[in-house]
Amino acid sequence: MEGIAILDELFTGVQSALAPRGPNAEGIATLSWIMFAGAGLIFLLVMALLAFALLAPPGRRGWLADRRMVIAGGIVFPVVVLSALLVYGLALARGLVSVPGEAPLEIHVVGEQFWWRVRYEADDGREPLVTANEIHIPVGRPVRFTLTTADVIHSFWVPSLAGKLDMIPGQANRLVLKADRPGVYRGQCAEFCGAAHALMAFEVVAHAPEAFEDWLRAERQPARAPPTTFQARGRDLFIQSGCGACHRVRGTSADGDLGPDLTHIGSRRSIAAGIYPNNRGTLAGWIASSQHLKPNNKMPSFPVFSGEDLRAIAAYLEGLK
């Protein structure tokens, strides 16, 4: 049963290159299958020849040692097969970076130890919209990512949608992808970037185009005022405790830039770069002991709050929809 569950995850999962959900990932998956099948066939052929060489009567296996066999099997065959693969691979790769037709949606993602800063470029001259750790895209429209890093090398990988591309200091890499159907696809940093590297994930949420526009419009709004006195107390604690030195909540005095933008943190599915589900409990736990939950991340734990204060801050953040 365990084995079946793993296979199922492999072919239908939210983070599997074998479960492609867009044309770019599909091209890569097809190439992998061709290589896998080809390698399998060649393996069988070599094993059959080996068995023949070992078991056939000596009089019948002399041709195996013939010089023409060595040239055909050792030079001609690999050159032909590998050249064909190279041509196919290069043609495929060209399709992965070009954007035919429609203007792509431009999203800039910055790798940070150990989270993702996400910026939507506005095409009407407005400021870009900044958020973190959850990337929303419309279905059916190409999206062009500009990938950079604020510190070390990270690697941006959403296996169901596209190949893997590194984020390299001093360089901007471009990745194009398209989602065929609405859904949530998981991504992961794929290059060791420090102690919490394995805890640096994210999600891509693909919406129908109108739903994406709605999301964008809502996300552009400043944070809403706390609706209850308990949440208002949470906001006051948030401001007084200096969270705003690192976090921005648009519409308040918190305008730090070191950590994720929290203006609409309540609407995100997970916290801490895709690691914990987003709810009042995990938010409170994160604030009190972020260093325990994600060792060596750049946010200090805040063990100073009483349980009640912690709940108030968490309720405030949860309400930032």
Q: Binding residues for ligand HEC, per CB under 6 A?
A: 114-115, 132-133, 238, 241-243, 245-247, 258-260, 262, 265, 271-273, 283, 286-287, 294, 297-300, 302, 313, 317
Strand segments, DSSP code E, in 256-295 are 270-271, 276-277
206 binds, among Cu ion, ligand HEC, none (CB under 5 to 8 A by kind): none
- 262 touches Cu ion (CB under 5 A): no
Q: Which residues contact 167 (CB under 8 A, 6 or more apart)?
A: 109, 110, 111, 147, 148, 149, 153, 154, 155, 156, 173
Binding partner of residue 136 among ligand HEC, Cu ion, none, CB under 5 to 8 Å per kind? none
Tokens of 25: 């990932």
Are 235 and 311 within 8 A, CB to CB?
no
What mask, x for binding Cu ion by CB under 5 A, covers residues 139 to 158?
---------------x----
DSSP state string for 63-87? GGG-HHHHHIIIIIHHHHHHHHHHH
Q: How far is the CB of 201 from Cu ion (least distance, A)?
A: 10
Q: Among residues 161, 175, 179, 193, which is the contact residue for Cu ion, using CB under 5 A?
A: 193
The distance of closest approach from Cβ of residue 234 to ligand HEC in the complex, given in angstroms and rounded to an integer, is 9
Using alpha carbons, list the distances in angstroms from residue 309 to 84, 265, 267, 289, 314.
65, 18, 22, 14, 9
Scanning 199-207, 213-221, 231-239, 245-253 for contacts with Cu ion by CB under 5 A, the matching segment is 199-207
DSSP state of 161: T
Query: Looking at the chain, how many residues does it have?
Result: 321
CB of 2 to ligand HEC, least distance (A): 31
Note whether 189 binds Cu ion by CB under 5 A: yes
Q: Is 167 among the residues that bind Cu ion (CB under 5 A)?
A: no
154, interface contact from Cu ion, ligand HEC, none, CB < 5-8 Å by kind: Cu ion
Element (H, E) at 136: strand 134-138
Residue for token pair 């190439």: 31
- Considering the complex, what minimum distance in angstroms separates the CB of residue 285 from ligand HEC? 10
* Interface ranges with Cu ion (CB under 5 A): 154, 189, 193, 200
